[in-house]
Structure 1
Amino acid sequence: MARDYYGILGVERGADAAEIKRAYRKLARELHPDVNPDPGAQERFREVSAAYEVLTDPEKRRVVDLGGDPLDARGGGASGGDPFGGFGGFSDIMDAFFGGTAAGGRGRGPRSRVQPGADALIRMELTLEDCAAGVQRDLTVDTAVLCTQCQGSGCADGTHPTACDTCGGSGEIQSVQRSFLGQVVTARPCPTCRGFGEVIPDPCRQCAGDGRVRSRRTVSVKIPAGVAEGMRVRLAGQGEVGAGGGPAGDLYVEVEEAPHEVFTRDGADLHCTLPLPMTAAALGTTLPLPLLDGTVIDIDVEPGTQHGTVRTLRGKGMPRLRSTGRIDGHGDLLVHVEVSVPTRLDKEQTDLLRRLAELRGEEQPDLVGGSRNGHGLFSKLRDSWSGR
């Protein structure tokens, strides 16, 4: 009876090459003799390897689909001979366990000399006024730029790269080792060409063959209104040019917001403190308040305003910057009233305050018996305790 090679790997008869390969790798990692020393596992490993050999060969798989057994036809099988003799799946074992390739397998080939460039970052300090209005500035940056002498090729005028003699242009050096599984070919980047597969016999004198040079240049950046500390503005293609004249990375401008002497920021809201004399808080007044855009608004302080009062001015804060870069309204300005009590009084001022206290009946606050309405602090505490 023909063996069920699909069942050995645990795949459907219509499985494609990728499914078969995944199933084989999974079973090989579980059953490999270096991982599982059980004799039954070793026998199972040989069956799995033979099944993979059959199902990855189009002709052998066709025989299986017609009901035959291609291993019996050649006198081999899962239980006899070398199950690894010449079948392509052995490279997958090497890739899974050793990172190498089977003897006669193909390497990955040379890597490109042209590499993408890295991103660059520069920080810009802005005032709160700059963040509110937005600015456009010229920045001096020091990055790698395309070599104007060789235009990124790295070669002197009239010359070209040549194939590496050490690796023959493959970019890899292979070494053959014998193991209990047979011959194994391991590959490493060629030390002569560094994996490129080619060398530059006459490098450009300006860039020494790198295809790029360091240069200081000026770029213009537009900072939108509403930016905040830590936000970044991206300038596409203004970063480091890649090796071999590869495409440049991006330049990011990170905002550093300088402290303001009047306002503090909380997202799109602004806060400020309004120092107010005791008399102005009692009598009421109107005070001018300069805003970030240079305009001045009047703050009306009502008579009897208390310390800690907060006045909210809607829409007088920072612009709200959306992720699209557009402005979506403004935050609020919160004015915190700070009533200041005088610490130094002359005799006339003291007499006036005493007279005011007499008129208001406040020359001796009654905390024990109660205030004029009979509800002092201590009386409230006494009542609360006596009610228990």
Structure 2
Amino acid sequence: MSAKDYQKDYYKALGVPKTATAAEIKKSYRELARKWHPDANKGSTDAEERFKEITEAYNVLSDEKQRKEYDEARSMFGGFRVPTGARPGQGPGGTFDLGDLFGGDGIGDVLGGIFRNRGGTASSTRARRGADVETETTLSFGDAIDGATVSLRLTGEGPCPVCGGTGAKTGTVPKVCPDCHGTGQQSRNLGGFGMSEPCKTCRGRGLVVDDPCESCSGSGRAMSSRTIQARIPAGVADGQRIRIPGKGAPGEHGGKAGDLYVRVHVKPHDVFGRSSDNLTVTVPVTITELALGAEIKVPTHRGPAVTVRIPAGTPNGQVFRVPGRGVRRKDGTLGALLATVEVTIPRDLSNKAKSALEDLRIATAGPDPREELLRRARQQQ
């Protein structure tokens, strides 16, 4: 237990001195509970937290044994945490009578089972995180490289608009599950150890509904559609899965929303391809440009063409690297543009061109360039 766990001052929370009697503690709690009860402060999270604070304080100070342990621990360490298992509304003998607190007017029904009156326990419903949602989008090659904002229409479960997610018919409220006491979990004994699993009675919600909402049949959930704007980062690859926190299904009972996962599909480009963080392009050249050398223009993605120098005697299929013209990485740097030169052979030649090529063949005549290849092939037979 950390030092912070010992800092709660339950006497201060109830506004009573350390020497207060049980009757004084009960009286102060009754007054504060009327003032800060959530039903008297609808929609106020501050009131809800204050109510929990004074209820927690009363749980300890109204029980003689727990109060003694608290006082002893606080004298040694400066504070005490509520023992495991203490629940709001539980006092001496196991129960604090809320009917007595509010004048015996059936407050247990008014609160919709938030507290079980006379002989029961009370528990706040556990917040549940919303489910993760998956969707897909298709981008052009250029938008995938540069990043883009896309509109995504999502259809999925959300709180029922009729009952507000309670699952109960209008004018009624759900009650705390009698089997799991609102936790949504049940323990199962497996011999040497125990395991928690969702409560079968309430299906993990912590609440049960006697008079269900006609729209959602008591589930508290309904199908709904919404459109969101999502930013797809620059450099996303085809098939990549992008996580957008907090844009999934809404949570229940104050729980956080789930995450949205977007599977990105990228349309192919007529000119450019991609290899990891590099862009690729195939550039046609003539045989004389490779043989004699040349300077050629190479296109870039959404930018001016760059000049690449081809050395004399460059083989067909040679790859030239142009730094800083590729895909943007996470650290902000850019990959390269990989330009592959490919010889184009003209189909129709003029008589002059044919004559020039015949002269070239005679001038470059020498040993059969395939002789070595044939020799090696024969050796392997």
TM-score by length of 2: 0.54
Q: How many angstroms apart in 2 are the aligned matches of 1:328 and 1:249?
A: 29
1:365 aligns with 2:378: no
SS at structure 2 position matched to 1:289: strand
Structure 2: segments with no counterpart, 5+ residues = 1-121, 188-195, 376-381
* Residue 106 of structure 1: aligned partner: none
Describe the shift of the 1:124–1:353 C-alpha distance in structure 2 as closer, same or farther (beyond 3 A): same
Contact 2:172 2:211 in 1 (8 A): yes
Deviates further, 312-321 or 246-255:
246-255
C-alpha displacement of 1:334: 1.5
Structure 1: segments with no counterpart, 5+ residues = 1-108, 175-186, 322-326, 368-375, 383-388
1:146 aligns with 2:150: no
Identity %, equivalent residues: 36
Q: How many angstroms apart in 2 are the aligned matches of 1:377 and 1:190?
A: 78
Supply the AA of the counterpart residue of 2:209: I
SS at structure 2 position matched to 1:241: coil
* Per-residue Cα deviation, 1:191-237 (whole angstroms, up to 9, x for no partner): 66557675312223333322232111111111121222343332222
Supply the AA of the counterpart residue of 1:142: T
Deviates further, 134-143 or 283-292:
283-292
Q: How many angstroms apart in 1 are the aligned matches of 2:180 and 2:308?
A: 82
Describe the shift of the 1:303–1:158 C-alpha distance in structure 2 as closer, same or farther (beyond 3 A): same
Question: Aligned match of 2:260 in 231, 251, 266?
Answer: 251
Describe the shift of the 1:168–1:112 C-alpha distance in structure 2 as closer, same or farther (beyond 3 A): closer
Supply the AA of the counterpart residue of 1:139: L
Question: Aligned match of 2:337 in 318, 328, 333?
Answer: 333
When the two chains are superposed, the root-mean-square deviation of aligned CA atoms in Å is 4.0
Supply the AA of the counterpart residue of 1:295: P
* Residue 314 of structure 1: aligned partner: 323
* Per-residue Cα deviation, 1:260-316 (whole angstroms, up to 9, x for no partner): 222222211222211112233345444433321243223343444331222111111
Question: Aligned match of 1:134 in 133, 138, 147?
Answer: 147
Contact 1:268 1:317 in 2 (8 A): yes
* Number of aligned residues: 247
Describe the shift of the 1:191–1:272 C-alpha distance in structure 2 as closer, same or farther (beyond 3 A): closer
Q: How many angstroms apart in 2 are the aligned matches of 1:304 and 1:215?
A: 66
Describe the shift of the 1:205–1:137 C-alpha distance in structure 2 as closer, same or farther (beyond 3 A): same
Q: How many angstroms apart in 2 are the aligned matches of 1:315 and 1:168?
A: 61
Alignment of 1:18-97 (within 5 A): none
C-alpha displacement of 1:330: 0.8
Q: How many angstroms apart in 2 are the aligned matches of 1:189 and 1:233?
A: 30
Alignment of 1:1-388 (within 5 A): 112=125, 115-162=128-175, 193-194=202-203, 198-242=207-251, 246-321=255-330, 327-342=331-346, 344-358=348-362, 361-362=363-364, 364-367=365-368
Describe the shift of the 1:293–1:151 C-alpha distance in structure 2 as closer, same or farther (beyond 3 A): same
SS at structure 2 position matched to 1:351: helix
Describe the shift of the 1:354–1:216 C-alpha distance in structure 2 as closer, same or farther (beyond 3 A): same
Contact 2:126 2:206 in 1 (8 A): no
Q: How many angstroms apart in 1 are the aligned matches of 2:219 and 2:210?
A: 13
SS at structure 1 position matched to 2:166: coil
Supply the AA of the counterpart residue of 1:350: K
TM-score by length of 1: 0.53
Supply the AA of the counterpart residue of 2:135: I
Q: How many angstroms apart in 2 are the aligned matches of 1:158 and 1:329?
A: 60
The structure having more radius of gyration, on CA atoms, is 1
C-alpha displacement of 1:159: 0.9
* Per-residue Cα deviation, 1:329-377 (whole angstroms, up to 9, x for no partner): 111112111123445545443222113334xx33x4334xxxxxxxx98
Q: How many angstroms apart in 2 are the aligned matches of 1:317 and 1:173?
A: 55
Describe the shift of the 1:110–1:305 C-alpha distance in structure 2 as closer, same or farther (beyond 3 A): same
Contact 1:226 1:318 in 2 (8 A): yes
